Chains A and B, each alone.
Chain A
Amino acid sequence: MTAVAARPEVRSAARGGSWVVYRCELAKLVRQVKVQAAAILCLLAPFLFVSALNVQSNTPQDTLFGRWVHDSGFSIPLVVLGFAGQWALPALTSVVAGDIFSCEDRYGTWKTILTRSRSRSQVFVGKALAAMTYSIAMTALVAVSSLAAGVLLVGRQPLIGLSGTLLQPGHCVVLVLVAWATVLPPVLAFTALGLLLSVASRNSALGVGGPVVIGLALQLASLVNAPEVVRMLLPTTPFGAWHGLFTDPPFHGPLAQGAVVSAVYFVLFVGGAHALLRRRDITEG
């Protein structure tokens, strides 16, 4: 041993420990094929969607703004948002959130990372932040890509709002981006659900598939004749809260309600996942 044995005191660098873990997790994520594939899908899918719409005359009329897909490019990101909120965003977020803890069980690397002077809480926070970053980034990517696809392949025509008023292009851009931003709370709530399932099940299939199945089941539940209060408390309901932005006058009640509901689920899921990880005995993995 030469320099290795030089032994300056190993410092734990406890300060910013979560930030260090976060950076490591991001470095790992960008090298994963599934993340790269998801990013490419988010980027290309809206363009493929618009291309497919352009070669057919009929429109997805049962979807909000679906009837305007040939008339205004700003309808495209809203149609995509309507679809995405039903299952695509829960699926997209769970790709990482549902796997980010259980992959350590799959690879057997818990013992490797938990013996490096980083506390479990730091590891948890770093991983959770990385999963949230991915979820936000993918949501933003779909938003921007679908807006670009609409504008580039359909055009910048004004859009007719839900109250029949004509929304000018500049206003449409803002409203579309705000509408996409409003799904971030439920996206983060589903990310938290993925984290919880990932920690609790130690199984990536359950972690990734669970939020999708739960999201779809809750969508179905919202369609049956459930009491309004139940529908309001479902974590999937906030995905549609943006509708009020396109009325005249706009109504923001569902947005606030959705944000609160999402925040409650987020805290419960993240808190549960954190507690489980902290108490776990790492005997395997």
Chain B
Amino acid sequence: MDEPSSPAIEALGLTKRFEDTVAVAGVDLRVGPGRVHGMLGPNGAGKTTLLTMLMGLVRPDAGSIRILGRTREEFGARVLDGVAGFVESPRFYPYLSGRRNLTLLAELDGGPAASRIDEALELVDLRDQAGAKVGGYSVGMRQRLGIAGALLRDPRLLILDEPASGLDPAGMRDMRALVARLAGDGVTVLLSSHDMGEVEELCDDVTIMRRGGVVFDGSMERLRERAPDPAFRLATSDDERALTMAGDTPGVAAAVAGRELIVHAQREHLDEYVIALGRAGVAVRRLDLESSPLEALFFALTEAEEPKEPAPDVPQEVAP
């Protein structure tokens, strides 16, 4: 079975075509044990197809998958023992109650899963609504029920596709706290998300996909190192002078964007620049964060004409 140090997920050369469309093109993915690994990419990047292949829902045209040290060829459906999660939004039988749905899933899982139902419902704050039919649940409630369904399996590897999707801000906060808590308990998490902030908050490592390929794969630290300066939207009483002063301030670059300026600078340089503007009699009327460094890098990686870092050259940084 799996060695303690072996990757929780090790996928090599995964490829999937749907007719003429290459959804995933030779992707390698390694997720270290106990790590929280983010999957980022715009719509159509191949994230969901990759996750469905990992979960055995879609057969790869090429490549191999090893999950918790096991392959589907050797273990069949048992390859998913210790693995839980959902791809796209979790779905349930609408004519059954939330509790009844979980009971059926627990029965499919076997073992002690049924004994975890109450606690799982409690954890996702659905205990009071568990008797109601799922057909009447909101999107957020179904999302939370999906997490509860995953927790029944007492997973060592949790695969979550947009887990905060459809949740209100409080639900998002709770969801992130839950993921962080599971990660703290040593559960490996593979988290697909559109939200750079969520990935930045939760993940140790990140894979960024674009058009079926990997454009970045490595630790969050490495991603941060590569990130450009944050961008700020600045409105002043004298933009022309502010633009000139930006050129004279070390570490600050500015450009006109409509009736405002876009300023790229690290925070300490930005502070110096703003103070200098004040001393020069230029009033700062508005200063907003336009994009965080990681967002800026994400857009640069995923919207560039060609991938900056083609998959074959991506150095894999698998945590021990």
Inter-chain contact B80/A117, CB cutoff 8 Å: yes
Residues of B within 8 A of A112 (CB): 86, 90-92, 105, 149
Inter-chain contact B185/A1, CB cutoff 8 Å: yes
Is B38 at the interface (CB under 8 A from chain A)?
no
User: What are 13 A-B contacts with C-beta separation under 8 Å?
Assistant: A1-B182, A4-B120, A6-B154, A10-B155, A12-B80, A13-B110, A20-B108, A23-B107, A107-B94, A111-B88, A114-B55, A115-B56, A117-B81
Is A228 at the interface (CB under 8 A from chain B)?
no
Task: Take A112-B86, A283-B58 as given contacts and tell me if A117 and B154 are in contact as well, using a CB distance cutoff of 8 Å.
Answer: no
Number of A interface residues at 8 Å Cβ cutoff, please give it. 43
Is B127 at the interface (CB under 8 A from chain A)?
no
The contact size tier of chain B is: 35 or more
Inter-chain contact B154/A118, CB cutoff 8 Å: no
* 9 nearest A-B residue pairs (beta carbon): A13-B110, A108-B91, A119-B77, A282-B57, A12-B78, A116-B108, A281-B58, A5-B185, A11-B111
Is A21 at the interface (CB under 8 A from chain B)?
yes
Complex CA–CA separation, A99 to B151 (angstroms): 29
Inter-chain contact B96/A111, CB cutoff 8 Å: no
Interface residues of B in 189-233 (CB under 8 A from A): none
Chain B interface (Cβ within 8 Å of chain A)? Answer: 18, 49, 52, 55-59, 76-78, 80-96, 100, 104-105, 107-113, 115-116, 119-120, 123, 149, 151, 153-156, 181-182, 185, 187
Q: Which partner residue on chain A sits nearest B48 by CB separation?
A: A283
Is A24 at the interface (CB under 8 A from chain B)?
yes
Per a CB cutoff under 8 Å, which of B52, B56, B78, B149 touches A14?
B78
Complex CA–CA separation, A204 to B111 (angstroms): 33
Nearest CB on A from B165, distance (A) = 14
Inter-chain contact A20/B110, CB cutoff 8 Å: yes
Residues of A within 8 A of B112 (CB): 8
Inter-chain contact B123/A24, CB cutoff 8 Å: no
Q: Which partner residue on chain A sits nearest B60 by CB separation?
A: A281
Nearest CB on B from A41, distance (A) = 19
Is A3 at the interface (CB under 8 A from chain B)?
yes
Inter-chain contact A281/B108, CB cutoff 8 Å: no
Given contact pairs A4-B119, A7-B154, A109-B92, enumerate 5 new A-B contacts (beta carbons under 8 Å): A1-B185, A17-B77, A27-B107, A116-B105, A283-B49
Task: Take A4-B120, A20-B108, A112-B92 as given contacts and tell me if A10 and B57 are in contact as well, using a CB distance cutoff of 8 Å.
Answer: no
Inter-chain contact A282/B108, CB cutoff 8 Å: no
Task: Take A3-B116, A4-B151, A10-B82 as given contacts and tell me if A109 and B107 are in contact as well, using a CB distance cutoff of 8 Å.
Answer: no
Residues of A within 8 A of B92 (CB): 107, 109, 112
Inter-chain contact B104/A28, CB cutoff 8 Å: yes
Residues of A within 8 A of B181 (CB): 1
Which of A9, A33, A107, A117 has the most chain B CB atoms closer than 10 A to its own CB?
A117
Nearest CB on B from A65, distance (A) = 40
Residues of B within 8 A of A7 (CB): 154, 156
Complex CA–CA separation, A67 to B129 (angstroms): 58
Inter-chain contact A9/B109, CB cutoff 8 Å: no
Task: Take A7-B154, A11-B81, A11-B111 as given contacts and tell me if A24 and B57 are in contact as well, using a CB distance cutoff of 8 Å.
Answer: no
Residues of B within 8 A of A283 (CB): 18, 49, 52, 57-58
Complex CA–CA separation, A6 to B111 (angstroms): 13
Complex CA–CA separation, A13 to B153 (angstroms): 12
Nearest CB on A from B180, distance (A) = 11
Is A225 at the interface (CB under 8 A from chain B)?
no
Nearest CB on A from B67, distance (A) = 12
Residues of B within 8 A of A108 (CB): 89, 91
Inter-chain contact B104/A24, CB cutoff 8 Å: yes
Is A152 at the interface (CB under 8 A from chain B)?
no
Residues of B within 8 A of A13 (CB): 109-111
Is A122 at the interface (CB under 8 A from chain B)?
yes
Task: Take A4-B120, A111-B88, A112-B91 as given contacts and tell me if A281 and B111 are in contact as well, using a CB distance cutoff of 8 Å.
Answer: no
Complex CA–CA separation, A10 to B78 (angstroms): 10
Inter-chain contact B76/A119, CB cutoff 8 Å: yes
Task: Take A24-B107, A119-B77, A281-B57 as given contacts and tell me if A111 and B86 are in contact as well, using a CB distance cutoff of 8 Å.
Answer: yes
Residues of A within 8 A of B96 (CB): 28, 31
Inter-chain contact B105/A114, CB cutoff 8 Å: no
Complex CA–CA separation, A116 to B87 (angstroms): 13
Inter-chain contact B108/A117, CB cutoff 8 Å: yes
Inter-chain contact B95/A117, CB cutoff 8 Å: no
